[in-house]
Chains A and B, each alone.
Chain A
């Protein structure tokens, strides 16, 4: 259940971005998770539900975008998306392939509120 540590790190990263934008609340987080990152998406959702209350991301929507690894075939030259690091080339069946990527794990974007109006113009990146 390393998803708990990952969620803590995610919340930390999101709050940092929120503060940099001068906002006070996170409405939505979009996270990119590769199919070979070793992160279980259900466990990540569960950990987010457990850990987000009491943070500026309380009640925020967690959107998870799952990315796939890429299988590049030395036999036919095709580049195909795969989920299995042992996958043969989906195009020609050759085992002479290199599976790359699928290890993505990042906060792609977040939506934050504009904050109280009386604070004047906000600093943006």
Chain B
């Protein structure tokens, strides 16, 4: 007997992601899925952003890594609520992992929740977590060909933070190429030039996050 199905393979994950999203919407939490290669500077960028955002908004972080709680410790040092998820070998976070992490977390009602995905430019692209937006961190040390070489990741994000721009002078990094590739893959996507180390460009990224949050949930409560 033949059964015609047309069922999306990741429908199970999508369903849990949808439930996560409903929870976040109900609690007025703006959620960002932070993606990028290992070493792109995702955690460093959080360390630059969290103290600024935390002045007027509740913030919290879910950290995804194969092993260790090193990233969570870095975030906890900023006195920001954090839950570490260890995927024990899995190359990406999925919606169910985020659902259990959210249960364990002191949720930042009316604020922003960052989900730092496992460092990987391939696998996390297909797995929705319940986020409102995605931000891919791409560092200049990775090379200017990465947007072209990893299209699924860059097609599915809304913004890219080009990190470590303070090092660009020491490298043959063609920023125009990244810009042109992004323009074709992601028309209307935002590109931020930042350095988590020097703080350059972090203010623009912070403003964008505040605007994106406010346009969904209104102005901060206090």
The chain A residues found within 8 Å of chain B, CB to CB, are: 1-2, 5-6, 9-10, 12-14, 17-18, 21, 23, 31, 36-39, 85-86, 95, 98-99, 103, 105-114, 125
Contact = CB atoms under 8 A, between A and B. Distances in A.
Interface stretch (B66-74, B105-113, B121-129, B134-142): B121-129
B6 A107 contact: yes
Interface residues of B, number: 32
Interface of B: 1-13, 90-92, 94, 122-127, 148, 151-153, 155, 181, 184-185, 187
A5 B96 CA distance: 12
A99 B185 CA distance: 8
Given A38-B122, A38-B125, A105-B8, A9 B13 contact: yes
Contacts of A38: 122-123, 125-126, 152-153
A17 B1 contact: no
A105 B9 CA distance: 6
Given A39-B126, A86-B181, A6 B1 contact: no
Interface SS of chain A? mixed
Given A5-B90, A109-B3, A110-B3, A85 B151 contact: yes
B3 A17 contact: yes
A17 B210 CA distance: 44
20 contacts: A2-B91, A2-B126, A5-B94, A9-B10, A9-B11, A13-B7, A31-B9, A36-B152, A38-B152, A85-B151, A85-B184, A99-B184, A105-B8, A106-B5, A106-B7, A106-B8, A107-B5, A109-B3, A112-B1, A113-B1
A125 B9 contact: no
Contact of B5 (A1, A12, A13, A95): A13
Contacts of B10: 6, 9, 105
Given A2-B91, A112-B3, A107 B9 contact: yes
A105 B155 CA distance: 16
Nearest to A109: B4
Nearest to A31: B9
Nearest to B5: A107
Contacts of A85: 151, 155, 184-185
B64 to A, nearest CB: 13
B184 to A, nearest CB: 6
A86 to B, nearest CB: 6
Pairs A-B, 7 closest by C-beta atoms: A38-B152, A2-B123, A85-B151, A107-B5, A107-B7, A109-B4, A106-B8
Contacts of A110: 2-3, 5
**Of listed A13, A18, A95, residue having the most chain B CB within 10 A:** A13
B97 to A, nearest CB: 11
